[in-house]
Each structure stands twice: as structure tokens, then as C-alpha cells.
């Protein structure tokens, strides 16, 4: 009379363990995906902040130079942008970074260094006596692409920022 009860209790306990394992098998990948999405979002936000800072530094560098064409401003701006990325601890190569300098002083020229990640054709007009610096960087370059395991890759995306500054440098 007592042995059937023990068997029933053992079946219930083993059934509970089985349900618990099944729940873990279903829930853990979903929780991991959510956690990796949060981490990836944080990394993208950090990358975007660094790209904005690099664009600010580049625009500041261009605005204190003598008023000239964008192609003559480009080398100093690229050096300033690269040094900002290096100071932040990111190694960004020329093939993954684009710097565009647009000047509205002499010939309203546009100069670009790097791959064609971003086209300035859709940008608004630059105010008079100003310079605009655009920095674009591929998203997967500065951090890991954690969501690629689940089929959501950020490797083809890029972050870009445009900064406009008035010229403060000497006139020609």
C-alpha cells in the first residue's frame, strides 16, 4: 500500500525536474539574446559618441586653419580625427573610416578621404564662411558584433556625424 505512493511521488519529482530543464532550454537563449542586444546597443552608443567627438575635433581643426579649399584642409582634419580615435583607444583603418570636408569660402569645394560610406549630396547647404566635417565609421570595426550569432549583424551599418563650424582662422 505504501509503495505505490512512493512511486507516484518519485514520478512527480522527476516530472518537475524535466519541466524545469525544459523551461531553461527555452528561456536561456531568449535571455541571452536580450542581454547581448543590450550590450550591443551600449557598444554602438559608445562608438557613436566617439565618432561625434572625432567630427567635433576635425571641424575645430578645420575652422582654425586659413580659409582655403577643402582639399588643402583635408590632411590636417584626417590627422586630427585619427588622433582622436587613437586617444579613445579605437584603431580605425582608412578602409573603414571616411572623412569629408566641405568648405563654403573660396570655391565651395568638397574633399573626401576613405571609402564611400556616406554621400554628402543630400546634406543641407553650408552657411557662409563655414566649414563642415563629416566622419563616418563602420559599426563593426570598433567593437564586437555579438548579435551576428542570432542573425542580426551590425557589420554593414555605419555611424556618421556632421559638424559645422564658423572659420576662426586667418583670412587669405
Does residue 158 belong to any structural domain of this protein? yes
Does residue 6 belong to any structural domain of this protein? yes
Does residue 171 belong to any structural domain of this protein? no
Does residue 172 belong to any structural domain of this protein? no
For residue 31, the model assigns a pLDDT of 93
Phi, psi of 155 (to 5 degrees): -60, -30
Per-residue pLDDT in tens (0 to 9) along the chain, 172 residues? 455 555 555 666 666 777 888 888 999 989 998 998 898 888 889 889 999 999 999 999 988 887 777 778 888 899 999 999 999 888 888 888 889 888 876 566 677 777 666 666 666 777 778 888 999 988 877 777 888 888 888 888 888 899 988 888 666 5
Taking phi first (over 0 means left), then psi (-120 to 50 degrees means alpha), and beta for anything else, what does residue 108 get?
left
Contacts of residues 77-80 at CB distance under 8 Å and 24 or more positions apart, as own/partner, are 77/101, 77/133, 78/113
State the Cα–Cα distance between residues 53 and 139, nearest whole angstrom.
15
Does residue 48 belong to any structural domain of this protein? yes
Handedness of CA 36, 39, 44, 47 (dihedral sign): negative
Does residue 159 belong to any structural domain of this protein? yes
Number of domains composing the chain: 1
Phi, psi of 138 (to 5 degrees): -65, 140
State the Cα–Cα distance between residues 17 and 13, nearest whole angstrom.
6
Q: Which residue has the cell 563650424?
A: 165
Domain that includes residue 25, residue range = 2-166
Does residue 126 belong to any structural domain of this protein? yes
Amino acid at each position: 500500500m505504501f509503495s505505490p505512493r512512493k512511486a507516484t511521488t518519485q514520478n512527480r519529482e522527476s516530472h518537475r525536474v524535466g519541466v524545469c530543464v525544459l523551461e531553461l532550454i527555452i528561456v536561456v537563449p531568449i535571455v541571452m539574446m536580450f542581454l547581448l542586444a543590450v550590450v550591443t546597443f551600449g557598444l554602438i552608443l559608445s562608438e557613436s559618441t566617439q565618432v561625434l567627438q572625432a567630427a567635433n575635433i576635425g571641424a575645430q581643426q578645420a575652422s582654425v586653419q586659413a580659409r582655403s579649399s577643402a582639399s588643402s584642409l583635408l590632411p590636417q582634419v584626417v590627422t586630427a580625427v585619427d588622433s582622436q580615435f587613437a586617444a579613445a583607444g579605437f584603431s580605425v583603418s582608412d578602409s573603414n573610416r571616411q572623412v569629408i570636408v566641405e568648405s563654403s569660402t573660396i570655391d565651395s569645394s568638397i574633399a573626401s578621404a576613405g571609402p564611400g560610406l556616406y554621400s554628402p549630396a543630400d546634406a543641407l547647404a553650408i552657411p557662409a564662411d563655414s566649414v563642415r566635417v563629416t566622419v563616418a565609421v563602420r559599426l563593426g570595426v570598433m567593437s564586437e558584433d555579438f548579435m551576428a550569432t542570432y542573425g542580426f549583424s551590425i557589420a554593414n551599418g555605419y555611424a556618421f556625424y556632421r559638424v559645422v563650424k564658423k572659420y576662426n582662422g586667418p583670412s587669405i
